């Protein structure tokens, strides 16, 4: 049996009931085989066995008091997967669907994503099964403070640096950073995504969405086309979706649809990004409220956002939001490019369907790496006590995304899988981490 297949089977057996983690390792291990075949040292050094086992998994109780004076208890997680090339780095997700499988898949993916950025950051991820939706600011603060009362001892500016993800934005990072500072007495960059008045970086808010569009720009460019006058379908209406929509519009595209977990809106005139920002960032409302702003827009509670015809599809909500039925609709409607804004947006079957139908596909670990790249730039600014301008950081971000695209494309080509950015990103991300692990001895 091939080495990658053997490790895949062993890992699935050893970690039962973790479907998201199984999916992530299947995607990575099945594409690494041609590269591993040419480099037997990875098998000899048991690199895959070590990589699929997180360095550390922390699970903890998070008790807090709600506005009725009742005690609530949630479960918190931090999975520190790999520190071969730098301190653990990855976001925190607050959503009722969070469990160990979800955090392990995200943390595993983060190893390769962070390596692809070319910056010195290892892989980690965390979160809790807490739902900030519908909670008062005081309740969110109480939860965040309790979460940090345990997590603070496992993180730090040179050890593990969390950031935002689903359900964790500027408000939550502020509450957590404040509590971290109170408990440790340290004013250090132990989080990224901080507010601009206390160590945050310009462009961090925009970074994942802008970076995603820069990735798609490179993909389109390879086919001799641009965003100009193209129709773009975006799922989600959170941080990643909003800034992807903004950049795509700035590039002359028409964003025709956005969604949330209740439904999607279709706007034939192109989405009004300021309206979406007001609804989502200020009012913390629902996408349906968009109808108050645009008379031609329509709202659909059922059905797939991918049924709206588009040239470019950018899934930006959550894992496995694009399945075979959605992929078939995109193919039927002539979609050219799919780039994942969310992590593992696309099921394995849907990914193969898109690739086999000639749709140019970029996986999240390459396409959404702009967020963590600018987080690493925030860390650099914090350690040197300086701040760069918006233009400077945006330019660095665009260059990083170009490098990620080029490295992924070339790695795939070298191993006989031209145009397969999934394989290319996995190989390019894996090599650096694997070599660092070997050079550091049995770690």
Enumerate residues 365-424 that contact ligand NDP by CB under 6 A: 368, 371
Task: Indicate which residue of 89, 104, 113, 125 is catalytic.
Answer: 125
Q: Residues 27, 109, 172, 260: which binds ligand NDP (CB under 6 A)?
A: 260
Query: What mask of x and - would describe binding to ligand NDP in positions 217 to 236, judged by CB under 6 A?
Result: -------------------x
Give me the least distance between CB of 306 and ligand NDP, in Å please: 13
**Nearest CB to ligand NDP, comparing residues 133 and 223:** 133
- 125 tagged catalytic: yes
Give me the least distance between CB of 41 and ligand NDP, in Å please: 32
Contact status: 239 vs ligand NDP (CB under 6 A):
yes
**Nearest CB to ligand NDP, comparing residues 57 and 320:** 320
Enumerate residues 143-202 that contact ligand NDP by CB under 6 A: 164-167
**Nearest CB to ligand NDP, comparing residues 286 and 414:** 286
- Which one of the spans 238-246, 264-272, 298-306, 395-403 is the region binding ligand NDP (CB under 6 A)? 238-246
**Nearest CB to ligand NDP, comparing residues 48 and 308:** 308
Give me the least distance between CB of 343 and ligand NDP, in Å please: 4
Contact status: 92 vs ligand NDP (CB under 6 A):
no
On the 0-12 / 13-18 / 19+ scale of CB atoms within 10 A, 44 is: exposed
Q: Spell out the SS3 assignment of the chain.
A: CCHHHHHHHHHHHHCCCCHHHHHHHHHHHHHHHHHHHHCCHHHHCCHHHHHCCCCEEEEEEEEEECCCCCEEEEEEEEEEEECCCCCEEEEEEECCCCCHHHHHHHHHHHHHHHHHCCCCCEEEEEEECCCCCCCCHHHHHHHHHHHHHHHHHHCECCCEEEECECCECHHHHHHHHHHHHHHHCCCCCCCCCCCHHHCCCCCHHHHHHHHHHHHHHHHHHCCCCCCCCCEEEEECCCHHHHHHHHHHHHCCCEEEEEEECCEEEECCCCCCHHHHHHHHHHCCCCHHHHHHCCCCCEEECCCCHHHCCCCEEEECCCCCCECHHHHHHHHHCCCCEEECCCCCCECHHHHHHHHHCCCEEECHHHHCCHHHHHHHHHHHHHHHCCCCCHHHHHHHHHHHHHHHHHHHHHHHHHCCCCCCHHHHHHHHHHHHHHHHHHHCCCC
**Nearest CB to ligand NDP, comparing residues 36 and 316:** 316
Give me the least distance between CB of 2 and ligand NDP, in Å please: 31
Give me the least distance between CB of 155 and ligand NDP, in Å please: 18
Residue nearest to ligand NDP (CB): 238
Q: Residues 316, 336, 412, 425: which binds ligand NDP (CB under 6 A)?
A: 316
**Nearest CB to ligand NDP, comparing residues 36 and 273:** 273
Query: How far apart are alpha carbons 10 and 354 in whole angstroms?
Result: 29
Give me the least distance between CB of 246 and ligand NDP, in Å please: 13
**Nearest CB to ligand NDP, comparing residues 8 and 128:** 128
Task: Write out the two tokens for 271.
Answer: 């989405």
Contact status: 343 vs ligand NDP (CB under 6 A):
yes
Contact status: 127 vs ligand NDP (CB under 6 A):
no
Give me the least distance between CB of 341 and ligand NDP, in Å please: 5
Residues at the interface with ligand NDP (CB under 6 A): 95, 97, 164-167, 208, 236-241, 260-262, 316-318, 341-343, 368, 371
Q: Please give the positions annotated as active site.
A: 125
């Amino acid at each position: 049996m091939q080495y990658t297949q053997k490790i895949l089977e062993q890992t699935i057996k050893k970690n039962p009931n973790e479907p998201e983690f199984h999916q992530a390792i299947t995607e990575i291990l099945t594409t690494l085989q041609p590269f591993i075949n040419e480099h037997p040292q990875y098998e000899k050094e048991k690199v895959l066995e070590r990589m699929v086992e997180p360095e550390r998994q922390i699970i903890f109780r998070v008790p807090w008091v709600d506005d009725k004076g009742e005690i609530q208890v949630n479960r918190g997680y931090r999975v520190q997967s790999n520190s071969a090339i730098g301190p653990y780095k990855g976001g925190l997700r607050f959503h009722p669907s969070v469990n160990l499988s979800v955090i392990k898949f995200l943390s595993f993916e983060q190893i390769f994503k962070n390596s692809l950025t070319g910056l010195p950051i290892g892989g980690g991820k965390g979160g809790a099964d807490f739902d900030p939706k519908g909670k008062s600011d005081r309740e969110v603060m109480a939860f965040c403070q309790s979460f940090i009362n345990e997590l603070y001892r496992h993180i730090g500016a040179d050890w593990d640096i969390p950031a935002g993800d689903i359900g964790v934005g500027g408000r939550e990072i502020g509450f957590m950073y404040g509590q971290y500072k109170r408990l440790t007495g340290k004013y250090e960059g132990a989080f990224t995504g901080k507010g601009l008045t206390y160590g945050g970086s310009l462009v961090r808010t925009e970074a994942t969405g802008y970076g995603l569009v820069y990735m798609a720009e490179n993909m389109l460019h390879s086919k001799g086309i641009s965003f100009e006058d193209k129709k773009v379908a975006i799922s989600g209406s959170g941080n990643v979706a909003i800034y992807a929509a903004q950049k795509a519009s700035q590039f002359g595209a028409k964003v025709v649809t956005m969604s949330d977990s209740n439904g999607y809106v279709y706007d034939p005139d192109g989405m009004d990004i300021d309206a979406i920002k007001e609804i989502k960032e200020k009012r913390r409302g629902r996408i349906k409220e968009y109808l108050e702003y645009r008379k031609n827009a329509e709202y659909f509670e059922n059905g797939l956002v991918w049924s709206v015809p588009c040239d470019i599809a950018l899934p930006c909500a959550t894992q496995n939001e694009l399945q075979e039925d959605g992929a078939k609709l995109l193919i039927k409607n002539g979609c050219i490019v799919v780039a994942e804004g969310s992590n593992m947006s696309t099921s394995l079957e849907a990914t193969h369907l898109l690739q086999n139908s000639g749709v140019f596909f970029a996986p999240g670990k390459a396409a959404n790496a702009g967020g963590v790249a600018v987080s690493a730039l925030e860390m650099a600014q914090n350690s040197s006590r300086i701040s760069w301008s918006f233009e400077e950081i945006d330019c660095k971000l665009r260059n990083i995304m170009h490098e990620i695209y080029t490295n992924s494309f070339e790695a795939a080509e070298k191993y006989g899988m031209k145009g397969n950015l999934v394989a290319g990103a996995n190989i390019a991300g894996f090599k650096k981490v694997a070599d660092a692990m070997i050079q550091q001895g049995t770690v």
